[in-house]
Chain A
């Protein structure tokens, strides 16, 4: 689907952060902001909800812990019991290192895979770049020009908040 954007180009991240706050206050919805590096406070300024990834991580970790304990208790306690170092078959202190490692393993892999999935990052994905300068030294605010959003008004608003230029661009990949 082809979408039309107004792109406000900024030179300074402080100006950008204020501009984002002001534009949102003026009631204009911001589609996305593209910056060469992460900017502190930008998530709050854009009003992005906090990720629920940590909750998923907790349950991945819990899964890993249960799997590790099951693996060790079943194999060493029931399936093929062996006496090792005169310890009981199910010797919990000896299981803790493996349980810890598998908890971390499940947690990390689960998180990375989930993150890729929800961000739609997969092999051969081509990232649409609205303005290549956002990978160098410019900060780009993209506002989608839907019905009822007037390019003239948006241009004025961005300029008034310190944009050095405002361009219009169509993009089909979004």
Chain B
């Protein structure tokens, strides 16, 4: 039995990002740019096929005639897809830090061998946060992302005046919005940096001092993250539907980020393992990650359904508009995505990961984690696009932008992974993780 064999020889293990791997990341970016270019060309020259949808969308349009204020469609789609992919990847990235913090606060021993992967996911938090501000700025030029940024929309007597939006001016105004966004990103980036620093110092000096300090820092971060993640969800996503609101929305977005982040940790673990690294990571560790993916897929569904059922049952026009747009609205072009979202994010992981064996096999876990990442990217698509692009949505530009983000994300993440040992050799719970059996 391997369970009690003592692994006294745990040694540091360094990831070397091979030139071929780096080339792959570059190819992902190149492929993204090509798809993006194709999408842009189609959007610029192949436009006009949406005219038929115009009549149908009247039924679902919320505010005004929803005339296309601002940019030409291709530019609007480009800016929206940048915002969409950035919000998704920023969330996946920060979940690495959140998961790390939760493992620390819970005194979890099993996860020590995969801690460095969580730390590495956080590499995107700061660049992603800065990009978020840049894209917000791009969106301001023609008010492509946020309807409430329109000039005069909150001034009585102006042609753009909207009473409901004006009522939210205390919260939704550009200076306060920017302060909040900078604050969220600053908090996330600071704690990501701090936890990483503590972990690296522990590698050098050992002892239990860093372990205890990590717990304190993590506890503080979790409290702040609970508030900022929820508010970020209102600001970055819910406020595109500025007339609409849902008290479940913070949880809904968090659940989506959270399960995607865990899928990303799992996928990275498997890919590293298959590349010959992480030799102490066993089926038991994979099993636990699998339980998290399984459990939180159900959690996401629970939150999603809680939001859906209350709105469906009460059927208040100002609330039901959200699902009207997504389910049958705009000529029904989001309907397939609505059901696809439920199948890939709930039915598929639920049925596939139900058995113990599936959670212990790399191939099954790999398929499910990729499905979850694609599924939740689509979930964010479904949160953002129907309210902003309405009937003019598409997929090529969006997929191209997502691939570019993925490539950049992977470059930064692998860089951080290679900067320190993949095994936090001096962690006090190392032995527990080595002997982890489930």
User: Is B355 a contact of A54 with CB atoms below 8 Å?
Assistant: yes
Cα distance A114–B1 when bound, in Å?
A: 31
- A86-B308 contact in complex given A41-B3, A41-B437, C-beta closer than 8 Å: no
- A93-B4 contact in complex given A41-B437, A54-B355, C-beta closer than 8 Å: no
Cα distance A89–B1 when bound, in Å?
A: 59
B309 within 8 A of A: yes
User: Is A58 a contact of B354 with CB atoms below 8 Å?
Assistant: yes
CB nearest to B354 among chain A residues: A58
- From B1, B313, B355, give the contact of A94 (CB < 8 A): B313
Interface of A is mostly: helix
Cα distance A87–B309 when bound, in Å?
A: 12
Residues 142-166 of chain A, each 1 if its beta carbon lies under 8 Å from chain B, else 0: 0000000000000000000000000
B315 CB, nearest partner CB in chain A, Å: 7
- A14-B4 contact in complex given A41-B437, A93-B309, A94-B309, C-beta closer than 8 Å: yes
A18 within 8 A of B: yes
A137 within 8 A of B: no
Which A residues are CB-close (under 8 A) to B313?
85, 87, 93-94
User: Is A40 a contact of B305 with CB atoms below 8 Å?
Assistant: no
A96 within 8 A of B: yes
User: Is B312 a contact of A44 with CB atoms below 8 Å?
Assistant: no
* Contacts between chains A and B (CB distance < 8 A), count: 36
Residues 84-121 of chain A, each 1 if its beta carbon lies under 8 Å from chain B, else 0: 01110000011011000000000000000000000000
- From A44, A58, A96, A97, give the contact of B3 (CB < 8 A): A44
CB nearest to B309 among chain A residues: A93
Cα distance A45–B4 when bound, in Å?
A: 10
User: Is A17 a contact of B355 with CB atoms below 8 Å?
Assistant: no
- A21-B1 contact in complex given A41-B437, A58-B354, C-beta closer than 8 Å: yes
User: Is A17 a contact of B4 with CB atoms below 8 Å?
Assistant: yes
Which A residues are CB-close (under 8 A) to B194?
none
User: Is A93 a contact of B315 with CB atoms below 8 Å?
Assistant: no
CB nearest to B308 among chain A residues: A93
Which B residues are CB-close (under 8 A) to A14?
4
Which A residues are CB-close (under 8 A) to B309?
93-94, 96-97
CB nearest to A61 among chain B residues: B354
Residues 355-372 of chain B, each 1 if its beta carbon lies under 8 Å from chain A, else 0: 110000000000000000
Cα distance A44–B437 when bound, in Å?
A: 10
Which B residues are CB-close (under 8 A) to A41?
1, 3-4, 437
User: Is A40 a contact of B356 with CB atoms below 8 Å?
Assistant: no
- From B4, B305, B355, give the contact of A18 (CB < 8 A): B4
A174 CB, nearest partner CB in chain B, Å: 27
Cα distance A86–B315 when bound, in Å?
A: 10
Which A residues are CB-close (under 8 A) to B354?
58
- From A40, A87, A94, A97, give the contact of B437 (CB < 8 A): A40
Which B residues are CB-close (under 8 A) to A86?
315
User: Is A54 a contact of B3 with CB atoms below 8 Å?
Assistant: no
Cα distance A58–B354 when bound, in Å?
A: 9
Cα distance A32–B305 when bound, in Å?
A: 47
Which A residues are CB-close (under 8 A) to B1?
17, 21, 41, 44-45
Cα distance A31–B406 when bound, in Å?
A: 56
Cα distance A41–B435 when bound, in Å?
A: 10
Cα distance A41–B1 when bound, in Å?
A: 9
B416 CB, nearest partner CB in chain A, Å: 33
Cα distance A41–B436 when bound, in Å?
A: 10
Which B residues are CB-close (under 8 A) to A21?
1
Cα distance A86–B320 when bound, in Å?
A: 14
Cα distance A11–B378 when bound, in Å?
A: 57
Which A residues are CB-close (under 8 A) to B437?
40-41, 44
Cα distance A50–B1 when bound, in Å?
A: 16
Cα distance A135–B300 when bound, in Å?
A: 43
Cα distance A54–B356 when bound, in Å?
A: 9
Which A residues are CB-close (under 8 A) to B355?
54
B215 CB, nearest partner CB in chain A, Å: 24
Which A residues are CB-close (under 8 A) to B305?
93, 96
Cα distance A18–B1 when bound, in Å?
A: 9
Cα distance A66–B233 when bound, in Å?
A: 37
Cα distance A93–B1 when bound, in Å?
A: 49
Residues 52-91 of chain A, each 1 if its beta carbon lies under 8 Å from chain B, else 0: 0010001000000000000000000000000001110000
Which A residues are CB-close (under 8 A) to B315?
85-86
Which B residues are CB-close (under 8 A) to A93?
305, 308-309, 312-313
Which B residues are CB-close (under 8 A) to A87?
313
B350 CB, nearest partner CB in chain A, Å: 11
Cα distance A18–B3 when bound, in Å?
A: 10
Which B residues are CB-close (under 8 A) to A94?
309, 313
Within 8 A of A (CB), among B1-34: 1, 3-4
A95 CB, nearest partner CB in chain B, Å: 10
A and B contact pairs by CB, cutoff 8 A, 5 listed: A17-B1, A41-B3, A85-B313, A86-B315, A94-B309
7 other A-B residue contacts (CB within 8 Å) besides A45-B3, A93-B305: A14-B4, A17-B4, A21-B1, A40-B3, A41-B1, A54-B355, A93-B313
